[in-house]
Amino acid sequence: MIGSGLNSQTFFKTDLTTWEIGPYHSSLPGPMRLKLKLDGEIVVKCEVETGFLHRGLEKASELHGWPSLVVYADHLDPEVAVFGELVTCLAVEEISGITAPPRAQVIRLLLAELARISGHLAFMVRMAKAVGSETVTHYVLRDREKILDLFELVTGARFSLNFLRFGGVRSDVTDGFIERVLEVCELIRVRMKEYNDIFTFNYSFLQRSSGVAPISKDCVRFCGMSGPNARAAGVAFDVRKDAPYLGYSNLDFIAPLGRGEGGVLGDVHDRFLIRLREINESMEILKQVVERIPDGPFLHAPVGNDYKVPAGEAYVRIESSRGLLGCHVVSDGKLKPGRVQYRVPSLANLMAVPLITPGVRVEDLPVVLASLDLGIAEADR
């Protein structure tokens, strides 16, 4: 076409293309649909549709007795099931006016931090897959198995633990658990350096993550985002620090903030780095906690099928690996819950997708989605 009289701008000007991806696609973090308007390979507009994984979890919780609530809470976010169990138990305990014994609180805290590490390692796996780094995918999955082994050692299960109870935990920690936790912490500490060498500061990964799809503080406020995504954008809010529970106020740890090391504050690389740093902080917390597990009972009192929660309501919030997880429980004094409602962090994170994707190249879209650590199971419930 050279010499035809058309300049390159006229020649290459195209109409916007419409693409629909999903609900099931390997580049998506779960069942969801993206409706994209593309200018060439640049995203101009992105609409997100969710709801494909709706299981009626909150309604199901109302149809069964109080003890079943823990089982349903497990399925809120199966990847990090402990957080669903924890927030539900804390809410029911607040209504009942009971407190878990100190030993049970420490066991809960151990499981919560192990789940955070597990969740962040799973995040690393998805990031590695999104940029096509097979080696890191397998290495990180190998190490995450060690955490799941620890869950199995304590609870007998690797994913749906069904371990927390109103007023404590189901059973005491098994022999050798503490030593195994310390071993795994040491192993992951060594491996984190290895991952940094081969992945975090790898040139090709930096190219795919630096300056891509930054989240601004305004975007955080607009969507009500929390957790690592908000902290990567420089918003210092962590429930463990700002409204401590389970004795987090007695522990020495920091909630890392984004520093814009990839060039822009809150970009994909910041969101990746923040989770690596949180893994380190979680390991520090674990080391502090395992040294001071108190003796004593692990359960306030056994909970039977005829367990009744006095009439009342509670709203409890905790810091899950994805952000602020809240639970509003209402009891009318009967054998079944009156209402159980969850405030999940992934809804706010999903709300950010249409705001941060315009201008992103379509091949970077899986990386951007992976970097938000979206939990579709918890968003759809």
Which residues contribute to the site for another protein (CB under 8 A)? Answer: 45-52, 54, 56, 58-60, 63-65, 68, 94-95, 97, 221-224, 235, 237, 312-315, 317, 324, 326, 328, 330, 332, 338-339, 341, 343, 347-348, 350-351, 353-355, 379-380
For the bound state, the minimum distance from the C-beta of residue 224 to another protein, rounded and expressed in Å, comes to: 3
> Are 92 and 69 in contact, with CB atoms under 8 Å apart?
yes
Rounded to the nearest 5°, which phi and psi values hold at 321? -70, -15
**Alpha carbons 311 and 124: distance in angstroms, whole number:** 43
The CB-of-76 to another protein minimum distance in angstroms stands at 15
Minimum distance from CB of 376 to another protein (Å)?
11
Kindly state the smallest distance separating residue 98's Cβ from another protein, in Å.
11
**Among residues 45, 39, 30, which one has the least CA distance to residue 366?**
30
Least CB distance to another protein at residue 93 (A): 10
Q: Which of 159, 156, 162, 175 is nearest to 122 (CA)?
A: 159
Q: Least CB distance from residue 261 to another protein, whole Å?
A: 24
Strand blocks (E) in the chain: 17-21, 33-39, 42-49, 164-165, 168-169, 312-319, 324-331, 339-343
Q: Which of 22/141 has CB closer to another protein?
A: 22
Amino acid at residue number 171: S
Q: Which is nearer to another protein, 59 or 142 (CB)?
A: 59
Closer of 210 and 354 to another protein (Cβ): 354
The minimum distance between CB 184 and another protein, in angstroms, equals 34
Indicate the residue among 173 and 348 with the shorter CB distance to another protein: 348
**Closer of 294 and 302 to another protein (Cβ):** 302
Which residue's CB is nearer to another protein, number 13 or number 308? 308
Nearer to another protein, 109 or 230 (CB): 230
Residue 151, C-beta contacts closer than 8 angstroms, at least 6 positions apart: 111, 114, 118, 157, 158, 159, 161
State the nearest-atom distance from the C-beta of 355 to another protein, in Å: 8
What CA dihedral angle connects 375, 286, 151 and 141, to 10 degrees?
A: 60
- Our CB check for another protein shows the closer of 56 and 78 to be 56
Cβ-count burial 290-325 (b if 16+ within 10 Å, e if not): beebeeeebbbeebeeebebeeeebebbbbbbbbbb
| Residues 35/365, Cβ–Cβ less than 8 Å | no
Residue 341 near residue 365, CB atoms below 8 Å:
no
Q: Are 161 and 81 in contact (CB under 8 A)?
A: yes
